[in-house]
């Protein structure tokens, strides 16, 4: 039985991350993972396991936020389904490699530092508002599979929906910002599905998991956060289509800098 105060904490977390998922096409993982880690640590779960379960549970909730936000974006014609279909195979492969293979053995300190630097670069490019070259379009089939693999792999290691990589990538390829956000929201589902299955498989034989766990996924948190996130994801998507593109880019860049700072802090601290 979950304590009422814990339900309230998880519900608030779900409402906030759902809104961000709809607004910026992300899964909210960078907000969810540190808070989930804190919550699970307070329940007596060891630090290493708490981080891994926070990442896995965060990723699993993206299946809910993605479905909720993508409907709102689709109604406004913002989802490029042709790009979704092209990137999804690589995303599934990259996610499986991360969640089944690397996730169980990688400590993550060096990856966190590299990841923080990479995200800082992406945010700086977006703030510069440099216009992509007119001839730059989405790459061919092989290039999109490779790009999807990178997105799925990085997402699987940090428990995020991939918007921090997919949105800057699509914008750099002359995909309008609103389309990039909507398409990123749609990509969240295959990212979450592939990685969640991997987390369940890789954690299935682990001992010492808390009650209600399915592999690395903590089902009580998944239920509460998932139920609350679907309420606010459509609101975020609705507001996203009312904001000017330049403002949306600045909001996204600020979020990326926060993400980079958190990852650098975690990596250097380790």
Q: Taking the chain (270 residues) in consecutive chunks of 10 residues, what is each chunk's mean pLDDT?
A: 83 85 66 79 79 86 81 86 94 89 68 73 73 71 92 82 80 87 88 91 85 91 89 81 75 79 75
Q: How far apart are CA 161 and CA 152, in angstroms?
A: 8
pLDDT computed for residue 110 by the predictor: 63
pLDDT computed for residue 53 by the predictor: 87
Instruction: Extract the tokens encoding 171.
Output: 């914008």
Name 214's bridge partners: 217
Distance from the Cα of residue 237 to its chain's centroid? 16
Q: How far apart are CA 7 and CA 128, in angstroms?
A: 41
Whole-number Cα distances in Å, 150 to 28, 51, 93, 155, 198 = 19, 22, 9, 8, 16
Does residue 250 contact residue 127 with C-beta atoms inside 8 Å?
A: yes
Q: Where are the alpha helices (DSSP H) in the chain?
A: 4-24, 29-42, 47-75, 81-96, 103-105, 109-128, 141-158, 163-172, 177-202, 219-240, 245-269
Does residue 99 contact residue 153 with C-beta atoms inside 8 Å?
A: no
CB atoms inside a 10 Å sphere around CB 114: 13
Split into its structural domains, the chain has a count of 1
Does residue 270 contact residue 112 with C-beta atoms inside 8 Å?
A: yes
Name 218's bridge partners: 213
pLDDT computed for residue 1 by the predictor: 60
Write out the residue range of the structural domain in which residue 55 sits: 4-269
Reported pTM: 0.78
pLDDT computed for residue 218 by the predictor: 92
């Amino acid at each position: 039985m979950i304590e009422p105060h814990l339900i309230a904490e998880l519900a608030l977390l779900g409402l906030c991350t759902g809104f961000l998922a709809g607004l910026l096409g992300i899964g909210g993982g960078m907000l969810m993972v540190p808070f989930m880690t804190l919550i699970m640590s307070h329940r007596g779960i060891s630090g290493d396991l708490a981080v891994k379960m926070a990442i896995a549970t965060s990723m699993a909730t993206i299946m809910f936020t993605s479905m909720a936000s993508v409907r709102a974006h689709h109604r406004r014609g913002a989802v490029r389904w042709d790009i979704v279909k092209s990137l999804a195979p690589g995303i599934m492969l990259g996610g499986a490699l991360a969640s089944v293979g690397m996730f169980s053995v990688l400590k993550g300190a060096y990856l966190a530092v590299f990841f923080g630097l990479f995200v800082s670069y992406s945010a700086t490019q977006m703030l510069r508002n440099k216009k992509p070259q007119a001839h730059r379009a989405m790459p061919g089939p092989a290039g999109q599979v490779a790009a999807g693999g990178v997105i799925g792999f990085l997402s699987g290691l940090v428990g995020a929906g991939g918007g921090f990589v997919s949105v800057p990538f699509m914008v750099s390829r002359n995909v309008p910002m609103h389309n990039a956000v909507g398409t990123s929201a749609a990509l969240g589902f295959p990212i979450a599905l592939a990685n969640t299955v991997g987390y369940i498989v890789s954690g299935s034989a682990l001992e010492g998991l808390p009650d209600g766990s399915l592999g690395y996924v903590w089902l009580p948190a998944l239920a509460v956060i998932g139920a609350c996130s679907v309420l606010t994801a459509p609101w975020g998507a609705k507001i996203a289509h009312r904001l000017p593109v330049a403002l949306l880019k600045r909001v996204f860049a600020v979020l990326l800098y926060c993400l980079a700072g958190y990852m650098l802090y975690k990596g250097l601290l380790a």
